[in-house]
Amino acid sequence: MIYDYLIIGAGSAGAHAAHFLHRGGARVAVVEQSAIGAGGSGAAGAFISPRVGRGGELQRFTNEAFRFAIEFYASSPYFYQTGILRLPKEGQSFAGLEEFLDVPFTKHEDGFLFPTAGILKAKPHLQLLLEKIPLYYFSARPIKKEDYFQVGELRAHKIILATGAWDELIDEPYIRIGKVGGVRFDVRSDLALPYSMHKMVSVSANIEGIVTIGATHNREGARPKEPRILFEEAKKMVGEFDYEIAGMYCGVRSSVSDHLPIVGELIADARVPKIRSFKTLETKELPRKGIIILNGFGGRGFVFGPYIGYLLARHLLDGEPLPQVVDVDRYFIRYRKKGRV
């Protein structure tokens, strides 16, 4: 049998897309080289929090995704609606930003408390999503055949690359995936915050004796920050507390230049001649590769995951156009206009 879609990567991107495609009736399978949530997704504290800012498309889209995610997670046994207090970082201020907030909030100290926000136990949530979807374990390398792709023993009409920071299969010059490393600690502690908190790092409310502390700050090429800094920042925010480390999880996440997800079928750059007018360009008519990309979730993999999975399924199954702000075509156009990424 030939699958309609073969998704490579069982993180937040791959698992949510698989869920919505399967639910929409597509024949879909997932290939994972290691384990469900083995990449950035398994390391994430998975704080589900909105964006604070001065409006604009990044904030608008992020908060649209946040509202969708909160509704979606309401039926997950692994979501804890703790509320999240967001505080401005040193030298920043949230003054006047309330007028741009399009999600429920109350003003609190010098920050905003988002009562609908919360945290997700990422791995079991992803495992549950993939429970009824065929999952194969090997390192995938799709080979294009006449009218399908061969991936190991499997065949599919289309490939969905949900490989996070592993970018070797994304063979197009207009996409560059940055990498940011981070760490999360789960600690046993009596610390009992009334809500989860975020400033330089995130500290969760206490869930069954466990407090989660996490951040992703180590950019490519920069000297990694020592894990003790995480605890120093946490204590600056919530005060002194005793703890015993129950688990440490390291991971790398992708980052892209405009901080918005990248979704859609890749344009085959090598087959597109010189573009004479961008004003009249119809990207729909450009040659495509049969390979769909799902990436660039940045530090919000579990905020974007459900909404992007839903939008992709509607696009592929019902022909709904993808919102321009996340459509992969924007990267192709920028690259052709500037001659570089």
Q: State the residues that interact with ligand FAD by CB under 6 A.
A: 8-14, 31-34, 38-41, 43-47, 139-140, 162-166, 169, 182-184, 202, 214, 216, 251, 253, 295, 297-303
Cα–Cα distance measured from residue 198 to residue 32, given in angstroms and rounded to the nearest whole number: 32
Neighbours of 83 (CB within 10 A): 21
Which residue in the block uniquely carries the two structure tokens 């908060």? 63
Toward ligand FAD, which CB reaches closer, 33 or 76?
Answer: 33
Cβ-based nearer residue to ligand FAD, 71 or 337: 71
Q: Nearer to ligand FAD by C-beta: 19 or 184?
A: 184
Strands 154-161 and 3-8: parallel
Q: Smallest distance from the beta carbon of 103 to ligand FAD, in angstroms?
A: 15
We find the least distance from the C-beta atom of residue 249 to ligand FAD, in angstroms, to be: 7
Of residues 307 and 335, the one with the C-beta less far from ligand FAD: 307
Distance set, CA 3 to CA 25, 158, 288, 290 (Å)? 12, 8, 19, 13
The distance of closest approach from Cβ of residue 253 to ligand FAD in the complex, given in angstroms and rounded to an integer, is 4
Helices (H) and strands (E) in the chain — how many of each?
Answer: 7, 19
Q: How far is the CB of 165 from ligand FAD (least distance, A)?
A: 6
CB of 84 to ligand FAD, least distance (A): 10
From the CB of 190, what's the least distance to ligand FAD, in Å? 23
Contact 140, 129 (CB under 8 A): no
Based on CB atoms, which residue is closest to ligand FAD, 263 or 267?
Answer: 263
For ligand FAD, the closer of residues 184 and 315 by Cβ is 184
Nearer to ligand FAD, 30 or 267 (CB): 30
* Residue 202 neighbours by CB under 8 Å, 6+ apart: 45, 47, 49, 196, 212, 213, 214, 215
- The answer to whether 217 and 180 are in contact (CB under 8 A) is yes
Residue 8 CA to residue 50 CA, distance in Å, equals: 28
Shortest CB 280 distance to ligand FAD, Å: 34
Residue 69 contacts residue 302 (beta carbons within 8 Å):
yes
